[in-house]
Amino acid sequence: MVRAHAQWTLGYDAWMRGDLKEAALMIRTALENERGFSDYLRVALMVERLT
């Protein structure tokens, strides 16, 4: 769960800098690591950045 949060944070940072390719990669990886934790709010935040 901590790893997923760290990857989401890095993805968000990349998104803020305009590096959308890196952001999508980090957020997708974070989503994969989030699987099984049932943290729906965090998943929603991640998916929001991918759209």
The whole-angstrom separation of Cα 21 and Cα 11 is 9
* C-beta neighbour count of 1 within 10 angstroms: 11
pLDDT of residue 17: 96
Percentage, residues of the chain above pLDDT 90 = 33
pLDDT of residue 41: 75
* Tokens matching residue 49: 């950045």
Q: What is the pLDDT of residues 21-42, one digit of tens each?
A: 999 999 899 888 888 777 787 7
Closest CA to 27 of 38, 36, 16: 16
pLDDT of residue 38: 77
